[in-house]
């Protein structure tokens, strides 16, 4: 696994009184509004329920979101992320317009709701407005349920221009292409040519077998194969999921320097499949984690199940290890730290820290050599005590400093969203 020399040399864990201090973690993939539907899609709607049937439920829920409800849901989500140890989030934002596809009075209203939620909660935000233009690889128009997601290239670039002045020490503006099936090649090229050179670029790719099959049928190439052949993929790119890869594609992503955003709890919830982690690590690939649909908001659970999925496939233990350390927890934590700057656009996060509760029973007798393994693998009791972002304390004694008010707004909003 490629880790900068400075990251290898830097200790992962510092002692802070009776507690343990570790770096903050970047969440590389989030659809904030989906937090409000977590747990509401777990009843069988079809004898062969899949990602595609889940998507119908998601569309119906997305149709109810307003700037005000987006703010309330995102604020609750971001507070939960901070309490769990995430200090940065990449928001893959595609719910742009009103349900019928007409822009809000302020075309950036939904984006600004997310920015406000991040600023008010204190999390670092990489906002990734999503270009969404077509309903499939064949170029068919967006369906009625997708209309509020769509832009033409001109309108999308106007949105990016409107958001550019918002950038500050805790906000980066990047760009996302929803997927190869949703954005024509010419549009991707036009947008990339207009982006600042340092803007992160994210893309859903190869999440579903059906997506791979459709790409093969229309473009005579698999999604990752096609992307690596047609575009100069490099360290500014983050490929989300990349679940279904050939060995050649696995090595190709690793060689490009791009990051793969792996979302184990969502990928399990949707029945996507398992990323070929062991082969990717052997190829020296960069990777990070995301909570995506937010059926779980926990870096511990994402990292734990990233490793456990590999154990189930290989029927061996302790898979994610690097030559420099036999510790799975340390290898996993160094991996997400090594990819964060490229994927998020935040080069300096030295003011971010997570303080683990040294008084918790899980840490009895802990040492710097085993505290990360204990944090990730020693149970489900929350172990984050305090969190600082850019030097500001946002979590104390396990709770967000404004958690009560944020949760109250969220409860009221969720009741309204669920009202028939």
Q: Which of 272, 292, 352, 386 is catalytic?
A: 292
Using DSSP, state whether 146 is helix, strand or coil. Answer: helix
For residue 96 the two structure tokens come to 């742009």
Using DSSP, state whether 269 is helix, strand or coil. Answer: helix
HSE-CB of 45 using CA atoms within 13 angstroms: 13
In our burial notation (b when 16+ CB lie closer than 10 A, e otherwise), range 59-69 reads eebbeebbbeb
Using DSSP, state whether 275 is helix, strand or coil. Answer: coil
The Cα 123–Cα 387 span in angstroms is 10
Using DSSP, state whether 28 is helix, strand or coil. Answer: strand
The Cα 35–Cα 392 span in angstroms is 25
CA geometry: angle at 173 spanning 354 and 191, to 5°? 145
The Cα 177–Cα 201 span in angstroms is 8
The Cα 59–Cα 130 span in angstroms is 16
> Bridge partners of 232?
none
Classify the C-alpha dihedral 389-120-151-138 as positive or negative.
positive
Q: Which of 29, 151, 202, 241 is catalytic?
A: 241
The Cα 338–Cα 342 span in angstroms is 9
Is 173 in contact with 164 (CB distance < 8 Å)?
yes
The Cα 29–Cα 6 span in angstroms is 25
> Which residues fall within 8 angstroms of residue 153, CB to CB, at 6 or more apart?
131, 133, 187, 190, 191
Is 333 in contact with 372 (CB distance < 8 Å)?
yes
The Cα 28–Cα 343 span in angstroms is 7
The Cα 359–Cα 5 span in angstroms is 32
Active site residue 241: yes
The strand pair at 201-205 and 237-241 is best described as: parallel
Active site residue 370: no
Instruction: List, by residue number, the catalytic residues.
Output: 241, 292
């Amino acid at each position: 696994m490629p880790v900068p020399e400075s990251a290898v040399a830097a200790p992962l864990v510092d002692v802070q009184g009776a507690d343990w201090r570790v770096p903050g973690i970047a969440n590389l993939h989030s659809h904030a509004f989906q937090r409000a539907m977590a747990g509401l899609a777990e009843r069988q709607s079809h004898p062969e329920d899949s990602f595609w049937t889940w998507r119908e439920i998601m569309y119906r829920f997305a149709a109810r979101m307003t700037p005000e409800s987006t703010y309330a849901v995102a604020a609750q989500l971001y507070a939960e992320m901070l309490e769990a140890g995430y200090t940065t989030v990449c928001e893959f934002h595609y719910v742009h317009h009103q349900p019928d596809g007409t822009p809000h009075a302020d075309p950036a209203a939904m984006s600004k709701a997310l920015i406000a939620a991040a600023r008010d909660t204190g999390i670092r935000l990489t906002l990734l407005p999503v270009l969404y233009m077509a309903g499939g690889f064949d170029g068919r128009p967006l369906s009625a349920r997708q209309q509020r997601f769509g832009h033409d290239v001109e309108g999308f670039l106007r949105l990016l221009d409107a958001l550019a002045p918002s950038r500050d020490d805790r906000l980066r503006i990047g760009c996302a292409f929803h997927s190869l099936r949703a954005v024509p090649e010419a549009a991707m090229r036009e947008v990339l040519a207009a982006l600042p050179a340092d803007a992160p670029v994210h893309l859903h790719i190869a999440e579903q077998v059906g997506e791979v099959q459709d790409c093969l049928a229309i473009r005579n190439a698999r999604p990752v194969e096609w992307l690596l052949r047609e575009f100069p993929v490099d360290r500014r790119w983050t490929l989300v999921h990349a679940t279904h890869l050939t060995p050649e594609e696995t090595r190709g992503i690793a060689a490009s320097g791009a990051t793969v955003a792996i979302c184990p709890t969502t990928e399990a919830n949707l029945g996507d499949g398992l990323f070929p982690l062991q082969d990717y690590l052997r190829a020296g690939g960069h990777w990070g984690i995301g909570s995506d649909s937010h059926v779980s908001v926990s870096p511990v659970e994402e990292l734990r199940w990233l490793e456990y999925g590999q154990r189930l496939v290989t029927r061996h233990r302790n898979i994610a290890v690097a030559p420099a350390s036999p510790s799975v927890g340390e290898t996993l934590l160094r991996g997400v730290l090594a990819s964060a700057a490229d994927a998020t656009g935040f080069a300096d996060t030295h003011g971010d820290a997570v303080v683990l509760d040294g008084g918790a029973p899980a840490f009895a007798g802990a040492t710097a050599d085993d505290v990360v393994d204990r944090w990730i693998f020693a149970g489900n009791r929350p172990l984050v005590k305090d969190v600082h972002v850019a030097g500001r304390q946002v979590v104390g004694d396990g709770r967000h400093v404004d958690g009560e008010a944020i949760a109250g707004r969220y409860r009221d909003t969720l009741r309204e969203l669920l009202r028939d």
